[in-house]
Each structure stands twice: as structure tokens, then as C-alpha cells.
Amino acid sequence: MFEITYDLVVFITGLMAVLASLGVILCSSPIYCALYLIGHMICLALLFLLYHAEFVAAVQIIVYAGAVMILFLFIIALLGGRKEIQEASFERFMALSFAGTLFGELLLAATVGPTKPIQGAVDAQVLAEVGSAKVVGLELFSRHLVPFELASVLLLVAAVGIICLAKFPSAPLKRRTR
Amino acid sequence: MGPNFVLIISATIFCIGALGFMIRKNPLIMFMCVELMLNSVNFLLIGYSDFLNSMDGQIFALMIMAVAAAEVVVGLAIILTIFRTRHDLNVDHINVLKG
């Protein structure tokens, strides 16, 4: 019998995340793609937990798997999730070869050459004593205060942009004869 | 699991996202592939923040989440506007910017 170790759990969760992301790009129906993406987000949140980032894992579940994916599902329901016919073509072959090349290069960059270790002050023991949310909050409101405030400005700009897009509807385009 | 595992998983998910962005025709699914790529980078940042005992990676991941949320909201609104004017959602057929 094999025993369940930390490494095994991390490996299986990572494998499930990869399989779910494959499901996102291979399913024909948009609704199944969205469901696979939710599964992928949850797997990633579990991985965040396993790498001692509890606060970010909670934010991942709430913001991504909750809010963003509900938005996606609403839009799919609104537009009618039509199935997409997928056939092999030359463009697809080119895209596949490009992605394969990119993957090979990234793997090469991942395995060749040592990275120089930098050791910070916040190790797993400190995290376990203080708590992830408190450490993140202290960092966010002391050293990274300006980017935090700029992010709020960014969200405000996005909200104003949405209102502009929704409030002034353009006239329906007449179908042109070809 | 060491840094190599994080790097390889993250690279795999990023490449799957890039591939999906190129081969799919539905803009909604293309957006989902963008989310895949952003999430893979988030995972890399979180993993390295754990290995290097530093919180900067987690702060970066939070910033990426804020940017991704704003991007999704604006993008989906643009898709809705395109669908309202053209009644068609194939990116190959959207070839004029004039509404």
C-alpha cells in the first residue's frame, strides 16, 4: 500500500489542474468549458493552500471561481452557448507547433541553469504563527501601498468604462450584401 | 515538491492557454484561455514566494487578480456590445471596427 504524502497530494492536484485546462480548450460547448475552468480554479486554489498562501487561495475561490466564473456563465446563458465545429486545418497545425515550441523553450528555461536562492524573512513557521492574511495585509499596506491604491483607481476606471459601454448602445448594424 | 515541479506545471498550463487562444473561434473561450495564462503565472508567483520565504509573490498575485477582474469585466462588456450589433460571435467574422 502506498501512503498519502504531501508530495503526492501536490502532484495529483497539479495534474488535475493541467487536465482541467486541457478540458477548457478541447470542449466544443462553452458551458462545459466554463465548468472545466471552475474545476481548474479550484485545483489552483488547493495548490495555493499547499504552498502556504491561505489568503490568496481564499481570494482565488471568491474572486475567480465565484465572481468571474458566474459572470462568464451569465454571458454564456445570455448569448446562447452554441457548439463550435472543430476541424483540423493548417492554421491549427501552425498554432500547435508554435505552442509546442513555446513549451519546449519554457521547459529548457526551467531545467537548465541554477537559480540563485534569495532567502526572505517570512518562512513557513512565521506564516503558521502570524497567519497568512495578517502578513499579506502588513505588506500590502506598508511597502506596497501605492500599487494597492492604483489598483483601486484601475477598478474605478473599469466600472466607468462598463457604464459607458452599456449606456450608449449603438444602432444595430445593417447586414451588408457581399 | 520543488521549484521544478512548479515551473513545469506552470509552463504547461501557460502553453495550453496560449494554444487555446489561437485555435478557438469563440471570444468567450478565448477569454477563458487568457484566464488560464494569468492563473499559471499566479501559481508560479505563489510557489516561488513559498520557496524564497518572501511575501512579494503573493502581493503580485493579488495585483494580477485585480487586473484580471477588471479585464474580464471590460472584455465581456465589449463582447456583449459586439453581439448586440452583429448577432454573430465568430472572431473570424469580426473584421471591421466601425459599429
Q: Which CATH architecture has domain B3-86?
A: Orthogonal Bundle (1.10)
Instruction: Please state the rounded mean pLDDT for residues B56-66.
Output: 90
pLDDT for res A118:
65
Percent of chain A as helix, strand, coil, to the nearest 5: 75, 0, 25
What are the distances in angstroms from CA A54 to CA A127, A166, B54? 10, 36, 14
pLDDT-wise least confident of A19-28, A45-54, A158-167? A158-167
Instruction: Please state the rounded mean pLDDT for residues B48-73.
Output: 89
Q: Sort out which chain B residues have CB atoms less than 8 A from A95's CB and list them.
A: 19, 22-23
- Judged by a CB distance cut-off of 8 A, whether residue B18 touches chain A is yes
Q: Please report, rounded to a whole number, the percentage of residues in chain A having pLDDT higher than 90.
A: 39
Position of cell 457548439?
A83
Answer CATH for A1-86 from 1.20.120.1200, 3.90.180.10, 3.30.565.10, 3.40.50.300: 1.20.120.1200
The whole model's pTM is what? 0.87
Instruction: Please state the rounded mean pLDDT for residues A18-36.
Output: 92
pLDDT for res A112:
73
Residue extents of the structural domains in chain A = 1-86, 124-170
- Judged by a CB distance cut-off of 8 A, whether residue A19 touches chain B is no
Instruction: Please state the rounded mean pLDDT for residues A7-14.
Output: 91
Give the tens place of pLDDT for each residue, B9-58: 999 999 999 999 999 888 899 999 999 999 999 999 999 888 888 888 88
What are the distances in angstroms from CA A141 to CA A134, A147, A148, B60, B69? 11, 10, 8, 14, 21
Residue extents of the structural domains in chain B = 3-86
Q: Sort out which chain A residues have CB atoms less than 8 A from B80's CB and list them.
A: 75, 78-79, 165
What are the distances in angstroms from CA A38 to CA A12, A13, A14, B36, B80? 17, 14, 15, 11, 22
Give the tens place of pLDDT for each residue, A75-132: 999 887 777 777 778 888 898 999 999 999 888 887 776 666 666 766 767 777 777 7
pLDDT for res A172:
54
End-to-end CA distance of chain B: 52
ipTM of the complex: 0.91
pLDDT for res A173:
52
Is residue A20 predicted with pLDDT exceeding 60?
yes
- Judged by a CB distance cut-off of 8 A, whether residue B8 touches chain A is yes
Indicate the pLDDT class of residue A41, thresholds 50, 70 and 90. Answer: very high
Q: Are A38 and B34 in contact (CB under 8 A)?
A: no
